Amino acid sequence: MLRYPLPQTLTTTDQLADFCARAASAPYVTVDTEFLRERTYFAQLCLVQLAMPGKDDSNAVLVDPLAEGMDLAPLYDLFRNPDVVKVFHAARQDLEIFHVEGGVVPSPLFDTQVAAMVCGFGDQVGYETLVRRISKASVDKSSRFTDWSRRPLSDAQKTYALADVTHLRQIYEYLRNQLAISGRTHWLEEELTALTNADNYVVTPEDAWQRLKIRTNAGKFLAIARELAAFRETYAQTKNIPRSRVVKDDALMELASTKPRSIDDLAKSRLLLREARRGEIADGLIAAVTRGMEMDAKHHPTLPEGRDRSALNPALADLLRVLLKAKAENVGVAQKLIASSADLDDIASGHLDGMWSRGWRREVFGDEALRLCDGKIALTAQGSKVLIVNL
């Protein structure tokens, strides 16, 4: 039997189960989190905020994952419920936390930051901006950078945390309706495909080197860098400490270049942290360098090849920029959400694939871009507007 009313802060699994049982019959639930990550590899989840439809705080709660005995299983079941839309703002970090903590990516998902971009609010619009423009309210930011792991939470923290999901209800309903009116709901669905891909929230040590900014394709250097990055990632995950506390990127690049094979060699590093010059980190770094040095050349990694732009037509690239600007203004969407400057250079070089050539981007820009390349349309100016002329 459900118990009413629920307290504002849920500190037991039974209380959470009661709320999730109620939310299971709601059309949507808004979600946000507070977490700490400065001193750990994995985020420490400190608070979960949830709200069901309504105009006040009566259907909004705070969930304390740090409370003794708290099990978030009822929440993860709600996240798997296909009948309830889970609404976030800028969801990527939240989704990573829930995937790591509970092995679940909430679905179906609605990200108001992505939806706002599709609706013409600009690129990566902030939550406070949407609250001000849609809810006609303001958010007190004073508690944003407080220590969310400390208990008890202050009244100011609770008020701030609840505001992150109560205003989100009105923002969601407004954006959902705007998408329906404009016929752009499928645009959002395309954008959310990558966001809901669980593979995006897993970093395998063997692939960690691909995050590095490497400016050489020398096989041995890449092999050593890959082994060093893999060791760092494994060590950071195992010890749950940030990568930068093991080895910073610039020091890792230095080691890949100097190839230290002993503790004495490590001591000559200009950039290596003191803690990394001895003990198990030092041993791991030396072993990683040795593996890279001894690797057969046929197993060396290679950097992805860049696009060949030797056939770049600068005049066509300029025309494509004018076309993109006109199209973006016409639909009210940021230009770089449709196509990047590199995309335009690719098109002008004859590379006719990419994100711009698929889905809603093709509807908005891609088809006309291809027609421009084929000489089937021309561009002309009428006052401040750019017009497309069929040839």
Give the number of other Cβ atoms within 10 Å of residue 356's Cβ: 23
* Band of pLDDT at residue 7, cut at 50, 70 and 90: low
String of b and e for 264-277 (b: at least 16 CB within 10 Å)? eebeebeebeeebb
Q: How far is CA 226 from CA 144, 221, 260, 348, in A?
A: 37, 9, 15, 34
Count of helix runs (H) and strand runs (E) in the chain: 16, 8
Whole-number pLDDT of residue 145: 85
Asked if the model's pLDDT at residue 5 lies above 80, the reply is no
> Cα–chain-centroid distance for residue 292?
31
Domains of the chain and any CATH numbers: 9-201 (3.30.420.10), 205-299 (1.10.150.80), 314-390 (1.10.150)
Tell me what the mean pLDDT of segment 246-270 comes to: 96
Asked if the model's pLDDT at residue 87 lies above 60, the reply is yes
Tell me what the mean pLDDT of segment 122-144 comes to: 89
Asked if the model's pLDDT at residue 3 lies above 50, the reply is no
Range name among 98-102, 137-141, 150-154 with the lowest pLDDT average: 137-141
Tell me what the mean pLDDT of segment 34-57 comes to: 94
pLDDT tens, 167-193? 999 999 999 999 999 999 999 999 999
Q: How far apart are CA 338 and CA 22, in angstroms?
A: 40
* Band of pLDDT at residue 56, cut at 50, 70 and 90: confident
Asked if the model's pLDDT at residue 22 lies above 90, the reply is yes
pLDDT tens, 286-328? 999 999 999 999 999 999 887 788 899 999 999 999 999 999 9
Q: Name the average pLDDT for the chain.
A: 94
pLDDT tens, 331-370? 999 898 899 999 999 999 999 999 999 999 999 999 999 9
Tell me what the mean pLDDT of segment 21-48 comes to: 96
Which sign, positive or negative, has the C-alpha torsion 5, 107, 86, 50?
positive
Whole-number pLDDT of residue 384: 84
Q: How far is CA 119 from CA 116, 183, 359, 382, in A?
A: 5, 10, 16, 26
- SS3 at position 306: coil
Asked if the model's pLDDT at residue 55 lies above 90, the reply is no
pLDDT tens, 208-243? 999 999 989 999 999 999 999 999 999 999 999 999
Tell me what the mean pLDDT of segment 28-42 comes to: 96
Asked if the model's pLDDT at residue 1 lies above 60, the reply is no
Q: How far is CA 238 from CA 52, 66, 151, 241, 255, in A?
A: 38, 22, 27, 8, 22
* Band of pLDDT at residue 251, cut at 50, 70 and 90: very high
> What is the C-alpha R_g of the chain?
26
121: which residues sit within 8 A by CB, 6+ positions away? 129, 130, 133
Q: How far apart are CA 273 and CA 196, in angstroms?
A: 37
Tokens standing for 42?
């994995």
